[in-house]
Amino acid sequence: MKLLVLGGTGEARELAARADGFEVITSLAGRVQNPVMPVGEVRVGGFGGVDGLANWLQDNGIGAVVDATHPFAAIITENAAAACGQVGVPHVVLRRPGWSAGPLDRWIHVPSLAQAAAELPGERVFLAIGRQGVHHFAGDESRWFLIRAIDPPDGAMPQRHELLLRRGPFTLDDDLDLMRRYGIDAVVSKNSGGDLAEAKLEAARILGIPVVMVDRPPLPAGVQVVGSVDAALAWLADLTG
Ligand code: NAP
């Protein structure tokens, strides 16, 4: 059976490597200049909305779709649910669990990056949100920002900033050192979950620094969701009997 994995995450790469017996095609949006490539066939670029994806699924004889995109990639997740519904292709969303605050964490929950910008504490802010959405902070002239991303943001950036081009995983020592060196007094994070970028939260906890945590966008109504690659493989095994 042909399996489309909507990718751009470590889970998608792991699934592509472990989905024995399936002909896997991984789809990447093409945002990152040098992406870590999954094993197997890869296609790059948008499908052209819901109808484009529905046509692509039919034209390519896809038997199942696992949406293993990043928890903040809300548009492709909406589109995939709608397109699979339209053409009757079995579909599951693979979402790693989100992070949750412990008693020593100082998290400020916000529903969006725009709201994070409106509720920012501190004066020297570590913007650990990747390259998308940095423009929400561009009008803030009162603060200094440390921006860490794999590729440079393409929108506007705050006037006072330093850009660190880095790809995770990051260790606790890396992030403690970084936050101390730059005198960071607030962190902005999306609730991505997973191990690769969790160290900044632990470092903030140790240093007593507040974290503005952007909550995940909601999933489309009625979709089936699994929380791990193992569970996605079990879903595929059930599907094929
Ligand atoms: P998005 O806002 O949900 O999607 C915007 C458009 O990009 C979609 O309508 C679709 O274009 C295209 N697209 C997105 N993901 C695609 C994929 N895997 N394959 C083919 N087309 C895709 O997506 P995003 O937040 O920009 O994320 C883009 C990619 O980066 C995703 O693969 C995601 O897993 C990865 N990523 C995102 C984040 C994040 O914070 N958002 C972080 C790490 C990795 P069409 O409508 O033309 O089909």
Write down the pTM of the prediction: 0.95
Q: What CATH code is assigned to 107-214?
A: 3.40.50.720
Considering just the CA atoms, what is the radius of gyration of the chain in Å? 19
Residue 81 CB contacts under 8 Å (≥ 6 apart), including other chains? 67, 91, 93, 220, 222, 223
Which part of the chain is CATH 3.40.50.720?
2-96+217-240, 107-214
> Tokens at residue 195, please?
């191990």
Q: Looking at ligand 1, which residue's alpha carbon is closest to its atom 46?
A: 49
Q: What CATH code is assigned to 2-96+217-240?
A: 3.40.50.720
pLDDT the model gives residue 152: 95
Q: Looking at ligand 1, which residue's alpha carbon is closest to its atom 12?
A: 46
Interaxial angle between packed helices 10-18 and 229-240, expressed in degrees from 0 to 180 and rounded to the nearest 10: 40
Distance of CA 187 to the CA centre of its chain: 17
Question: How far, in Å, from the CA of 176 to the mean position of ligand 1?
Answer: 31
For ligand 1, whether the C-beta of 88 sits within 6 Å is: no
For ligand 1, whether the C-beta of 55 sits within 6 Å is: no
For residue 120, which amino acid is it? L
Question: How far, in Å, from the CA of 73 to the mean position of ligand 1?
Answer: 5
Q: How far apart are CA 151 and CA 177, in angstroms?
A: 22
Q: How far apart are CA 233 and CA 210, in angstroms?
A: 38
| pLDDT tens for the 241 residues of the chain, in order | 999 999 999 999 999 999 999 999 999 999 888 899 999 999 999 999 999 999 999 999 999 999 999 999 999 999 999 999 999 999 999 999 999 999 999 999 999 999 999 999 999 999 999 999 999 999 999 999 999 999 999 899 999 999 999 999 999 999 999 999 999 999 999 999 998 889 999 999 999 999 999 999 999 999 999 999 999 999 999 999 8
pLDDT the model gives residue 33: 86
For ligand 1, whether the C-beta of 72 sits within 6 Å is: yes
